[in-house]
A = this chain, B = another copy of it.
């Protein structure tokens, strides 16, 4: 629970920067400072090398090689390093600001020499928690820069395909690599949605079996999670669409063809999210109807018990009175006649409640 609250809070840490000049590179993450790790995957159809460069110059060297390079930079807390990378690759200061701003909403900006995009990688971690990690991509003529905060990402499938030379990726250029990474991000949205679907289903079951206030809390938690996911996922379809319409020479007609497929998936995700949203909203309604049912049941028990025994107790009370002149008390069978009366009333009331379908 505590962690989820963190996720929700992260978004508004922005005020750390309030008052600073725009374009100031300020790490907005909530992680402790970690060393920045750089990995470069360099490939052509026939070549596949992995570099672990130590110096900035070793990284920049990949900018203008004819091979395709995937420069993967993990750890965003070292602002001066990011600045150096930016300077050597010729990136705009505002973009550097967005790279280290881990609360940046998804966006795509086109520049003359490169296209910049940030997205949210969503995945379910080992504790079954939803994690939303900031990732920034810069696609250039011959390389793609990937900036991320943690060592964990959703790109292993792409790495495997490059390694195994499966699919088209080794025969294609940096724009296809960019597409492949984006496609991985979007594919993971399906898993996250599926997880939401499972949560809805299990909440629904618990709702009928054991509708404690805890369930209501969890429903609210789920609704917040769906709101959050929507905020992260919603802009993507528009961004992909803009890429398809882009006139940048960096995006080849061929890659745009694949992007159209990704666009399709984005629409599908948004539709499913919309359905889950409505389902999540129904859950509370069901919870309330269930509460109402339970209340009804409680009230019926109370009403039946009271309505039966209060009148009977009254009769017993009558013959507990101490009047000197109470003829019935002297009757030989008075006691048994009263019992008879009571049984008649008892059965009569049972029939009455049966007719009302209360028992």
The residues of A with any CB-CB pair to B shorter than 8 Å are 5, 8-9, 11-12, 14-15, 17-24, 94, 105, 107, 156-158, 160-161, 166-169, 180, 183-184, 187-188, 190-191, 193-194, 197, 201, 204, 208, 210, 213, 216-217, 220, 223-224, 227-228, 231, 257-258, 261-262, 264, 267-268, 271-272, 275, 278-279, 282, 284-303, 305-307, 309-314, 316-326, 328-335, 338, 356-358
Contacts and interface: CB of A to CB of B under 8 A. Distances in A.
Contacts of A168: 21, 23
A301 B291 contact: no
A198 to B, nearest CB: 9
Given A306-B306, A320-B320, 19 more contacts: A12-B272, A14-B190, A19-B157, A19-B160, A20-B167, A24-B167, A94-B257, A105-B268, A220-B282, A223-B278, A297-B356, A305-B307, A305-B310, A316-B321, A320-B321, A321-B335, A323-B328, A323-B329, A324-B334
A15 B194 contact: yes
A325 B319 contact: no
Nearest to A262: B22
A161 B303 CA distance: 66
Contacts of A21: 161, 166-169, 180
Identical chains in the assembly = 5
Contacts of A357: 210
Contacts of A191: 15, 18
A340 B277 CA distance: 57
A288 B158 CA distance: 49
A338 B309 contact: no
Given A21-B168, A191-B18, A216-B293, A310 B313 contact: yes
13 contacts: A14-B187, A19-B157, A19-B187, A21-B161, A21-B166, A105-B268, A220-B282, A220-B286, A288-B289, A292-B292, A292-B295, A309-B313, A312-B314
A307 B187 CA distance: 57
Contact of A309 (B12, B268, B311, B335): B311
B284 A285 contact: yes
Interface of A is mostly: helix
Contact of A320 (B272, B309, B322): B322
A302 to B, nearest CB: 4
Given A9-B197, A220-B282, A258 B305 contact: no
Nearest to A271: B231
A237 to B, nearest CB: 13
A320 B335 CA distance: 12
B12 A190 contact: yes
Contacts of A105: 264, 267-268, 271
Nearest to A318: B316
Nearest to A14: B190
Of the candidates A24, A107, A279, A305, the one having the most CB atoms from chain B within 10 angstroms of its own CB is A305
A12 B194 contact: yes
